[in-house]
Amino acid sequence: MPPGHALHYTAPIVERTHNPSSSWIVAQVHGASVVLWDGHAFHDAMLGGQIKAAADPRHTNALAVGDEVDVEPSGSGPPRVIARRERRTHLERAANDPRSRVQIVAANATRALIVSSLRDPPFRPGLVDRWALLARRGGMEPWLCLNKVDLGSQTDAERAVAEAAIPLTAHFLSANTGWGVEELKAAIAGDSTVMVGHSGVGKSSILRLLVPGADASTGDVSAKNRKGRHTTSSARLYPLPGGGVVIDTPGVRSVPLGRAEVGEVVSVFAEIADAPPCRFRTCTHRAEPGCSVLQGLEAGSVPRLIYARYRRLLEEAEVR
């Protein structure tokens, strides 16, 4: 592990004494170094050559946080990860990559908690749309979490979500005051949740409330001193005290979709997904005759704001 990249966990890294048939979960990846969680403790491990050889060439990373893996002892050194079990779910995003590969942000989570903030940084419905699409693509249920409600009021927060007409389960929260945290804890108890969202919205702050003692870095959002911010630099998995796990991820500036199906884009917007069938089955709801979405736009059943976000997503995605 390179210096300066020590992986600090509150639970001690213990000697490996495990049943070889049971699978371990990837808690953090740093190049060829991996931290694994066996349900009781964290273990250091190394990536075996088999894993790299078997990696999907369309992906930038061979292992993602949340992956279930098989390990093998390797003499006196750390155990080796020799196989990855098939992912039940995954969350991907287009990598900034000349080969159009995707990065697997996290694996095997039940849901993606799309964290945004009421202010500082401002609430951006377009980012929520993109993450919702990607979560569904990988089989995760997208939820919205609107943090920093203390910077406005509960009414402001609810209005922001209602105006954006985001058809997702929404949690309102203030990591600063702890308001709404108990409800979120109860809602995610027992299963696996990955937190995603813009940098500075408060993911790591929320994590520290969910997992007391977690030492996730939290940054100061002060625009003056951006270099001094302790933002999260890699995804990490933490066990929840009452069972289940939560994965904190680094914030992103943008969420490029890469290639997408029209149906995927449509499924983000309830008003468009629920519109009656159009004349053409392959209608993209842009200019086709007999389009029920365009008729809904005229009649007011499809809000202009929603339609504009749909078009933006459609134009941005390389629609197949």
Q: Which residues bind ligand GTP (CB under 6 A)?
A: 147-148, 150-151, 174-176, 199-205, 218-221, 231-232, 250-251
User: Three-state DSSP class for 258?
Assistant: coil
Closer of 139 and 250 to ligand GTP (Cβ): 250
Q: Left, alpha or beta for 29 (phi > 0: left; psi -120 to 50: alpha)?
A: beta
* Phi/psi of residue 232, nearest 5 degrees: -65, 130
User: Cβ of residue 246: shortest distance to ligand GTP, in angstroms?
Assistant: 12
293 binds, among Zn ion, ligand GTP, Mg ion, none (CB under 5 to 8 A by kind): Zn ion
28 binds, among Mg ion, Zn ion, ligand GTP, none (CB under 5 to 8 A by kind): none
Q: How far is CA 172 from CA 76, 218, 301, in A?
A: 49, 20, 27
Q: How far apart are the C-alpha atoms of 32 and 28, rounded to whole Å?
A: 11
278 binds, among ligand GTP, Mg ion, Zn ion, none (CB under 5 to 8 A by kind): Zn ion
> Are the beta carbons of 248 and 232 closer than 8 angstroms?
yes
- Which residue has 């995804």 as its token pair? 235
Output the residue with the shortest Cβ distance to ligand GTP: 251
Q: How far apart are the C-alpha atoms of 310 and 126, rounded to whole Å?
A: 9
> Is 232 one of the binding residues for Mg ion (CB under 5 A)?
yes
> Is 204 one of the binding residues for Mg ion (CB under 5 A)?
yes
Q: How far apart are the C-alpha atoms of 88 and 104, rounded to whole Å?
A: 13
Closer of 199 and 284 to Zn ion (Cβ): 284
134 binds, among Zn ion, ligand GTP, Mg ion, none (CB under 5 to 8 A by kind): none
> Is 116 one of the binding residues for Mg ion (CB under 5 A)?
no
Question: Comparing C-alpha atoms, which of 62, 52, 66 is closest to residue 24?
Answer: 66
For 250, counting Cβ atoms within 10 Å of its Cβ (0-12 exposed, 13-18 middle, 19+ buried), the class is middle
The interface region with Mg ion, picked from 91-99, 220-228, 229-237, 302-310 by CB under 5 A, is 229-237
# binding residues, Mg ion (CB under 5 A): 3
User: Cβ of residue 207: shortest distance to Mg ion, in angstroms?
Assistant: 8
142 binds, among ligand GTP, Zn ion, Mg ion, none (CB under 5 to 8 A by kind): none
> Is 23 one of the binding residues for Mg ion (CB under 5 A)?
no
Q: Which spans of this chain sit near Mg ion (rule: CB under 5 A)?
A: 203-204, 232
